[in-house]
Amino acid sequence: MDSIWTRTADMPEFAPLDGDLKTEVLVIGGGMAGLLCACWLERAGADCALVEAKRICGGTTGNTTAKLTFQHGLIYARLLREFGPERARLYLEANRTALGRYRELCREIDCGFEERDAYVYALEDRRKLDRELEALERLGFRAEFVRNPALPMPTAGAVRFPKQAQFHPLKFAAAIAGGLRIFEHTKVLELGPSTAVTDRGTVKAEKIIIATHFPLLNKHGGYFLKLFQHRSYVLALENAPAAGGMYVDEGEKGLSFRDYGEFLLLGGGGSRTGKKGGGWRELEDFAARHYPQAKIAARWAAQDCMTLDGVPYAGRYSRGTEGLYVAAGFNKWGMTSSMAAALLLADLLQGKKNPYEELFDPSRSMLRPQLAANAWASALGLLTPTVPRCPHMGCALKYNAQEHSWDCPCHGSRFGEDGRLIDNPATDDKKKRFKTDREDVS
């Protein structure tokens, strides 16, 4: 189940840490967010090191659909309604700036960077699109309504953002990683003030950035309540018509489309991790109906951290953790949001003011409706009297027959049938092989 990106990229390899290390800044996590944090800090002259428990970009970054856009679904009408025009405008500006930085970097990197228009479509309710267009006009950005987007099924129209982009994420990551001090296969076991104890030695750092997809410290920040994880699926199709742009459904369970070379990337079938969803079967059924001549060249799945309010967490890990920072919760828009978070953190660690600090502040109010849903999911998982159970916080795991894994519906940890850890926030394998009695969530 390798993605089309992992099949077509030559990723550099880095040796593990060998003994103790002292550095100004330590970045924990070698996905796109961690690499970009290290990149901007290194360019600013900081003494910076990055540790990764496995291989760089071996998780979500290698399984993205790699859209570079500040069109994040129908987000601006909601931001305007819930947060007001100032914060909605800041969100747009932060992500537009992030896209601009990618555009600058990709002039020197051969990573398939291509400008494409981005579309968010609605299957039935055009009023949602009209509200988004009105919100964008209030924010000073002129998007366009498209009555008949080039999709294989009928829609109510789409909102178009011109001159967005797409790229090959691993070719980009390989290029920026080349000049960084990186230690792979170096797992952080314990964090203390200005200290990270790894399985390869102890790192002393004045400042530490945790960029591990799901933050690894439970006792600070409340991230186990502020985040939940969502799983989604992708097919790379041969002999399918080109999309000609990047398309996403405004609905959470809709489909996405983009091209990569001769392939059409069809995404969707998602659900909260550990809950029932359509998976690849939903995508296969859609492809059979609408692209009967197409063949499946690759399939993979991605896992995304979702925040309480749809805005990422980037900044101080919590109010009580001096010198500790975080980048997490990119809500399925990890490429652009990783860049926005990295630019913010690079400024904060250099003592510079950044206009987006308050917008992305991880310590902002948790009083959102999603908080109750997260707490309820955790309570159900804890009270369900079945085994096996997740070592993270003890929730009952559910079997995912499509991916042959055991998934946690509380916080999104995943394990192979042999008990091997696949996705965090759990930090260790299950010590015993799972039994074969399964509750299927596929």
Q: What is the pLDDT of residues 388-434, one digit of tens each?
A: 888 888 888 889 988 888 988 888 899 988 888 888 888 878 765 55
Residue 300 and residue 375 in one domain: no
Q: 300 and 374 share a domain? A: no
In a domain, 407, yes or no: yes
**What's the CATH number where 385 sits?**
2.102.10.10
pLDDT, greater one: 297 or 435: 297
Which pLDDT value is given to residue 435?
Answer: 54
Q: Are residues 386 and 289 in the same domain?
A: no
249 belongs to a structural domain: yes
Are 143 and 256 found together in one domain? Answer: yes
For residue range 151-175, list pLDDT tens digits in order. 999 999 999 999 999 999 999 999 9
Query: What secondary structure does DSSP assign to 24-66, as a single string?
Result: EEEEE--SHHHHHHHHHHHHTT--EEEE-SS-TT-SGGGG---
For residue 388, say if its preceding peptide bond is cis, omega within 30 degrees of 0.
Answer: yes
Q: The pTM is what?
A: 0.94
342, 327, 15, 31: which is closest to 170 by C-alpha? 31
Same domain, 161 and 236: yes
Instruction: Check residues 185 and 418 and name the one with the higher pLDDT.
Output: 185
Quote the number of domains for the chain. Answer: 2
What pLDDT, in 10s, does the model give residues 344-361?
999 999 999 999 999 999
What is residue 431's predicted lDDT score, i.e. its pLDDT? 64
CATH number at residue 300: 3.30.9.10
Residues contacting 229, CB < 8 A, separation 6+: 214, 272, 273, 303, 304, 305, 306, 411, 412, 423
Q: Is there a domain that residue 357 lies in?
A: no
- Same domain flag for 413 and 294: no
pLDDT of 436 > 50? The answer is: no
Looking at residue 373, its pLDDT comes to: 87
Whether residue 9 is predicted with pLDDT greater than 80 in this model: the reply is yes
More confident residue, 286 or 402: 286
Position 426 scores a pLDDT of 86
Per residue in 30-85, pLDDT (tens digit) is 999 999 999 999 999 999 999 999 999 999 999 999 999 999 999 999 999 999 99
Residue 383 lies in a domain: yes
Q: Any idea which residue has 């189940």 for tokens?
A: 1
Average pLDDT (4-22) is 97
Task: Classify 194 in phi/psi space as left (phi over 0), alpha (psi -120 to 50) or beta.
Answer: left
* Residue 381 falls inside a structural domain: yes
Taking only the tens place, the pLDDT of each residue in 84-124 is 999 999 999 999 999 999 999 999 999 999 999 999 999 99
Q: How far apart (Å, rounded) are the C-alpha atoms in residues 111 and 263?
A: 16
Residue 237 domain flag? yes
Domain that holds residue 129: 111-165+228-304
268 and 405 share one domain: no
> Residue 37 domain-assigned?
no
Using CA atoms of 29, 31, 36, 37 in order, give the dihedral in degrees to the nearest 10.
-20
> Does residue 198 have a pLDDT over 50?
yes
Give the span between the Cα atoms of 185 and 129, in whole angstroms.
46
Domain boundary (272, 304, 336) is at: 304
Query: How much is the pLDDT for 32?
Result: 98
Whether residue 276 is found in the same domain as residue 406? no
Is residue 236 located within the same domain as residue 382? no
